[in-house]
Amino acid sequence: MSKLQLPNTKLFINNEWVESISGNKFKTFNPVNEELICEVSEGDKADVDKAVIAARNAFENGVWGTTMTAEDRGKTILKLADLIQDHKEKLAQLETMDCGKSIVSAREDIDFCVRVIRYFGGWADKIQGKTIPISSEFTSITKHEPIGVVALIVAWNYPLMLLCWKLGPALAAGCTIIAKSSEFTPLTALYLCDLIKEAGFPPGVFNLVSGLGSTVGNALSHHLDIDKISFTGSTVTGRKIMEGAAKSNLKPVTLELGGKSPNIFFADCDIEHCVNAAKDYVFSNNSQNCCFSSRFFVHESIHDAFLTLFTEKIKQIKVGNPYDESNHLGPLVSKQQFDRVLGYIEKGKSEGAKCHLGGSKHHHADGKGYFVQPTIFTNVTDNMTICKEEIFGPVVVILPFKTVDEVIKRANNTTYGLAAGIWTKDISLALNVSNKLKAGSVWINNYDNCLPQVPFGGFKQSGIGRDLSEYAIQSYLSIKAVTISHKTLHAQQN
């Protein structure tokens, strides 16, 4: 691969590239070879304040909130989608270099970014209120107005895609934005800024303040002039975001957090089909996926056959340089994440689980990189750490079950509730189980099938609110009720 040209690494405020006020920078590393990619301007509270002023001005006084029609706003959003499509390969290459996902997966992510932005671009001129007939004397109307200046904070595992999930509905609603990417994977968000400017977004509509969660994230969540915050990341950080919103101006929050998702394989499922499907999705994105199906519940009558075939398929997974299109599993995003996942693997072994496959670092050709072997644990109990906590790495536990009621209870026995999978030929059984699972997304005979039209989010400690779909747009709107007295109008006419 020829040397990849990097994006501008400054802060993007009011459609201009500017240095951070402090002049500080942070480093981002390539997880394949552990080498420094570049240094990025590190914002802090002062830069957030500057970005908020730009966003507030664009919302209150700029063309985005006043003279531009909803139709023209939609056209601008659609122009951005076209530009992302045009720059797909560059964005995919940057994504792979920065976070280690396979180049094939990165291209698929960029394709989905285009679909999401186009979907919400089409929504811009279709956001409408209602007329409510009250009586012969009163009529009420509702107006759906943009909530205002919003903060978008995204995780490092899908850097551009998660940003687009939030950017699309916020722009369609008419909001202005301050975004923060992860300090681990900042590059594609930086590249997007030039595309936003080229698409014709007025100054201040989109601002990007790169930096650390403890400074930029904290400043955004506590800011008194930000009207909403949307965050994707860990449950621990989600609590801090919510606390900051509560302690400041009670801004509403959307939180898409962690998961420990169950995948249930009933006795009548087609084992070969299920295993082939599982091989494709279970270690996608290097298993750094909030809805990763890390708990496999397999009916006892097919458990041994399933495990044997699943093991054979997972042994076929190629681990290595993500730029090689034949490799399926790349490195974890950082040394911190690498050490964390290996720590969970050792915890599983120490608590008595059997490491059936993998269980250690994958030794790459030059010995560098944060590669972990695809790992399968058996002889696992529901109270073991690896069965309860989110690992965010290529580690799966296989758990046999006997009855439907038992597996529903065990699947729900988690503080999380993001996603679940059901595999069976019996559609009545599938629907009955799906009704009883406490999860925001339930996939039947498929898994991790996210679509722009379908809401995504969690129950319990997996979050609040939804990304994607019409439901996401609603969270960026304020509803105003206007009640009109017919009697008063009649009196004035007389």
CA 171 distance to own-chain centroid? 17
Query: Structure tokens of 54?
Result: 């730009």
**What is d(CA 41, CA 338) in angstroms, rounded to the nearest whole number?**
25
- Measure the CA angle with vertex 14, ends 12 and 17; round to 5°: 35
**What is d(CA 362, CA 331) in angstroms, rounded to the nearest whole number?**
9
- Among 42, 95, 183, 256, the active-site one is 256
**What is d(CA 278, CA 307) in angstroms, rounded to the nearest whole number?**
12
Query: Structure tokens of 70?
Result: 């909803």
Task: State yes or no: is 256 an active-site residue.
Answer: yes
Backbone angles phi, psi at 42, to 5 degrees: -105, 110
Reported in sequence order, the residue ranges of 88-175 that DSSP labels E, i.e. its strands, are 131-133, 138-146, 149-153
What is residue 285's DSSP assignment? G
- Give the β-pairing of 253-256 and 463-464: antiparallel
What is residue 214's DSSP assignment? I
Please say whether the beta carbons of 295 and 397 come within 8 A: yes
Please say whether the beta carbons of 393 and 341 come within 8 A: yes
Reported in sequence order, the residue ranges of 88-211 that DSSP labels E, i.e. its strands, are 131-133, 138-146, 149-153, 176-180, 206-208
- Sequence-distant (6+) residues with CB within 8 A of 317 are 279, 283, 328, 329, 374
**What is d(CA 298, CA 287) in angstroms, rounded to the nearest whole number?**
20
| Exposure letters 246-272 (e unless 16+ CB within 10 A, then b) | eebeebbbbbbbbbbbbbbbbeebebe
Please say whether the beta carbons of 77 and 62 come within 8 A: no
**What is d(CA 241, CA 376) in angstroms, rounded to the nearest whole number?**
34
Residues taking part in catalysis: 256
